[in-house]
């Protein structure tokens, strides 16, 4: 039975800048000043809606239950030339790697690629003028003021493309989640059914005095570039990785076919992915039947151009060599 899942890497929201406060109509009322002039203050500016990249967020799932985001309006002006208070900005925190665009448009409003980077997506309206602005030598008692301006309104698409140094790819259940759990502090759910990983996981791999980010990209299947399986939901994350580790299940009957199938999906999704450096790792060599087949598997994979490693994500065998090679390739790609 297919599992339902929320859209956690692409979501649509409505944002509204706060309305500006109205200007005030007021006149001086002081003792011994019977004919005081206009002293109506200006309204405050409406708050902005601001997106801020937060490395503590890894998905957009916290936004799925709310579609409308409205910043605080500005305060109304008062007498004695008192200005209304400015509305507070509404801050929405999103993962690093979030691309922002208006619905129906291909031009990006912004690409939040660094922790703490901010983007104003809906400006607040300006405050209205109080009647003190409308006094002239001819019209000394103006009884008019300006209303506050309307804030910007936008319907946005937030599209998350995770930024990672290394992406783990492969068919479902090849052991990507187990591998990332073993080599980093990440903790992915592991089970024996298709599409166990319903959202990408990030982990930090520490190697001596250096560290790099590794992403567990959910399993791909034939037709993923057309949206089959998890399809486009996660192929987009691969675009921002620097190198790929392609995991092959050592129990498969045809490792070359599995390898070519996934690489074909990457190529059909984005031709540029064919040039991304890749390491091939045959997993599950701790299983006796797989270990016996190692010479056979090595022989059929001799023609591939990528570095080839034999590993066990469960026992850790071969992982130090694999991670060391990944770190070296990252250094070469800088």
Tens of pLDDT along 174-197?
888 889 889 886 555 444 434 444
Examine the fold and report which residue of 160, 186, 221 is the final residue of a domain before the chain moves on: 160
Element at 262 (helix H, strand E): helix 255-269
CATH of the domain at 60: 2.70.210.12
Question: What is the per-residue pLDDT for 98?
Answer: 92
Is 194 found in the same domain as 66? no
Is 207 found in the same domain as 271? yes
Q: Are 301 and 279 in contact (CB under 8 A)?
A: no
Examine the fold and report which residue of 141, 160, 179 is the final residue of a domain before the chain moves on: 160
- Reference 326, options 219, 221, 236, 207; nearest CA is 207
Is 190 found in the same domain as 70? no
Is 283 found in the same domain as 194? yes
Please tell me the distance from the alpha carbon of residue 312 to that of residue 288, in angstroms, as a whole number: 12
Question: What is the per-residue pLDDT for 252?
Answer: 92
Q: Are 61 and 8 in contact (CB under 8 A)?
A: yes
User: Does pLDDT of 287 surpass 90?
Assistant: yes
Examine the fold and report which residue of 144, 160, 176 is the final residue of a domain before the chain moves on: 160
Question: What is the per-residue pLDDT for 230?
Answer: 40
Is 196 found in the same domain as 59? no
Is 264 found in the same domain as 278? yes
Tens of pLDDT along 213-249?
888 877 554 433 334 334 345 567 778 888 999 999 9
> Which range of residues forms the domain containing residue 268?
164-333
Which residue did the predictor score with more confidence, 119 or 238? 119
CA angle, 206 then 112 then 241, to 5°: 45
Phi, psi of 228, rounded to the nearest 5 degrees: -70, 150
Is 303 found in the same domain as 173? yes
Is 148 found in the same domain as 27? yes
Question: What is the per-residue pLDDT for 1?
Answer: 31
Phi, psi of 291, rounded to the nearest 5 degrees: -60, -35
Q: Rounded mean pLDDT of 11-30?
A: 92
Is 209 found in the same domain as 235? yes
| Mean pLDDT rounded to a whole number for the chain | 84
Is 199 found in the same domain as 259? yes
Is 259 found in the same domain as 242? yes
Q: Helix count (H) and strand count (E) of the chain?
A: 6, 14
Please tell me the distance from the alpha carbon of residue 214 to that of residue 226, in angstroms, as a whole number: 26
Q: Are 49 and 71 in contact (CB under 8 A)?
A: yes
CATH of the domain at 282: 3.40.50.300
Query: What are the strands of the beta sheet with 153-160, ordered from one edge?
Result: 68-70, 10-16, 153-160, 98-102, 108-112
Question: What is the per-residue pLDDT for 140?
Answer: 81
Question: What is the per-residue pLDDT for 219?
Answer: 54
Running DSSP on this structure, what letter comes out for residue 224? G
Work out how many domains the chain is built from and give that number.
2
Is residue 155 helix, strand or coil?
strand
Confidence class for position 200, pLDDT limits 50, 70, 90: low
Is 219 found in the same domain as 295? yes
């Amino acid at each position: 039975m297919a599992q339902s899942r929320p859209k956690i890497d692409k979501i649509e929201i409505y944002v509204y800048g706060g309305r500006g406060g109205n200007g005030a109509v007021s006149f001086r009322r002081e003792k011994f000043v019977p004919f005081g002039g206009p002293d109506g203050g200006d309204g405050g500016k409406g708050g902005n809606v601001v997106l801020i990249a937060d490395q503590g967020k890894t998905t957009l799932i916290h936004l799925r239950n709310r579609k409308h985001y409205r910043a605080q309006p500005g305060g109304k002006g008062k007498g004695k030339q008192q200005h209304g208070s400015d509305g507070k900005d509404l801050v929405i925190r999103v993962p690093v790697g979030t691309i922002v665009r208006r619905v129906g448009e291909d031009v990006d409003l912004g690409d939040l690629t660094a922790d703490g980077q901010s983007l104003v997506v809906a400006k607040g309206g300006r405050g209205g003028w109080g009647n003190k602005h409308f006094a002239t030598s001819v019209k000394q008692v103006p009884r008019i003021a300006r209303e506050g301006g309307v804030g910007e309104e936008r319907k946005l698409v937030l599209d998350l493309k995770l930024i990672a140094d290394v992406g783990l790819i492969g068919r479902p259940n090849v052991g990507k989640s187990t591998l990332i759990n073993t080599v980093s502090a990440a903790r992915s759910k592991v089970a024996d059914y298709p599409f166990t990983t319903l959202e990408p996981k990030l982990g930090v791999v520490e190697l001596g005095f250096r560290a790099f980010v590794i992403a567990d990209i959910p399993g791909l299947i034939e037709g993923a570039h057309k949206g089959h399986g998890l399809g486009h939901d996660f192929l987009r994350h691969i675009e921002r990785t620097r190198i790929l580790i392609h995991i092959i299940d050592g129990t498969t009957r045809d490792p070359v076919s599995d390898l070519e199938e996934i690489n074909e999906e990457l190529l059909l999704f984005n031709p540029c992915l064919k040039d991304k450096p890749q390491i091939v790792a045959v997993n599950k060599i701790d299983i006796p039947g797989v270990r016996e087949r190692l010479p056979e598997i090595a022989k059929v994979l001799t023609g591939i151009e990528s570095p080839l490693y034999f590993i066990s994500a469960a026992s850790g065998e071969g992982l130090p060599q694999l991670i060391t090679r990944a770190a070296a390739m990252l250094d070469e790609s800088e």
